[in-house]
Amino acid sequence: MLYILQKLIFHRFVSYFCRRIMKNHLIIVAGGVGSRMGTQTPKQFLELQGKPILAHTLERFYSSLPDLQIKVVMHNDYLDYWQELIRLIALDVPHSLVGGGSERFHSVLAGLNSISSNSGVVGIHDAVRPLISKQVIETCYDSARINGTAVPVLSVQDSLRLVENGKSETVDRSRFRLVQTPQCFEISLLKKAYSQGYHPRFTDDASVVESLGVELNLVEGNRENFKITTPEDLRMANMILAFDK
């Protein structure tokens, strides 16, 4: 029992030490336009418990890993708008802004190109996932540092059916996982993956890295870390934050 405790303490010390000496990075992708939300305001700027969704996301990461080098990638048309929001809400989270591209792939690539280092870990996170837990953030970065990759996932709780050609059949839900962010990788690995050019099959960063033949390391996500894309999602996030106060 003492040996196990000593190993646990040692592992946590090494993880903490590595996070302190290595420059780890975060790219928050905030390029959405909010079409499914049905609003003219992009969803990352919508108010959630008195602050923009993006502000909550930034604060979650900063409070968990304050030494992260944070880049926020968004459409060029909203760079000044966000800087004004920062001033109005007095947001105190150090981060730099990067102009995004036409697709998510190109926005992540722009963020990667703004990072001069090729060492350490970089996480890619959706701006509209503001309820990520501290434990998942730390686990993703620690796991990527050890294994090269870390992708948070959840088991599927509902029944699933495969629909093809007007017919449907049940499938084994235990074979599937719901994928979340932050998806974390060694910086050199992710830069190599994004150097190969865009393909429509790239739906997230994991799929880009996987195309190199790299086996992905999956870690447990948290249920509250859902992506806010509809008015119902926004109401749910408001209720969760109100309950946590």
pLDDT (0 to 100) of residue 74: 96
Number of domains in the chain: 1
Six-digit token pair at 222? 């948290």
Contact 27, 111 (CB under 8 A): yes
Six-digit token pair at 117? 């280092």
pLDDT (0 to 100) of residue 10: 47
If DSSP codes are grouped into helix, strand and coil, which group holds residue 59? helix
Query: How far apart are the C-alpha atoms of 241 and 245, rounded to whole Å?
Result: 6
Reading the chain (245 residues) residue by residue, the pLDDT tens digits are: 555 555 545 455 555 555 455 689 999 999 876 556 667 889 999 999 999 999 999 999 999 999 999 999 999 999 999 999 999 999 999 999 999 988 999 999 999 999 999 999 999 999 999 999 999 999 999 999 999 999 999 999 999 999 999 999 999 999 999 999 999 999 999 999 999 989 999 999 999 999 999 999 999 999 999 999 999 999 999 999 998 87
How many helices and strands, by DSSP H and E, does the chain display?
8, 12
Dihedrals phi, psi of 37, to nearest 5 degrees: -80, -20
Give the number of other CB atoms < 10 A from CB of residue 80: 10
With tokens 């303490």, the residue in question is 9
Name which of 222, 57, 22 is nearest 136 in CA terms: 222
pLDDT (0 to 100) of residue 31: 83
Query: How far apart are the C-alpha atoms of 68 and 62, rounded to whole Å?
Result: 7
Contact 98, 71 (CB under 8 A): yes
Contact 220, 136 (CB under 8 A): yes
Query: How far apart are the C-alpha atoms of 57 and 123, rounded to whole Å?
Result: 13
For the domain that residue 88 is a member of, what is the CATH number? Answer: 3.90.550.10
pLDDT (0 to 100) of residue 112: 98
Query: How far apart are the C-alpha atoms of 40 and 2, rounded to whole Å?
Result: 58
Range of the domain at 183: 2-244
pLDDT (0 to 100) of residue 17: 52
Name which of 159, 149, 213 is nearest 183 in CA terms: 149
Dihedral angle of Cα 178, 194, 67, 55, to the nearest 10 degrees: -60
Query: How far apart are the C-alpha atoms of 42 and 30, rounded to whole Å?
Result: 9
- Which 8-state DSSP code applies to residue 181? S
Contact 239, 46 (CB under 8 A): no
Give the number of other CB atoms < 10 A from CB of residue 206: 22
- Which 8-state DSSP code applies to residue 214? P
pLDDT (0 to 100) of residue 230: 94
Give the number of other CB atoms < 10 A from CB of residue 6: 10
With tokens 């968004």, the residue in question is 74
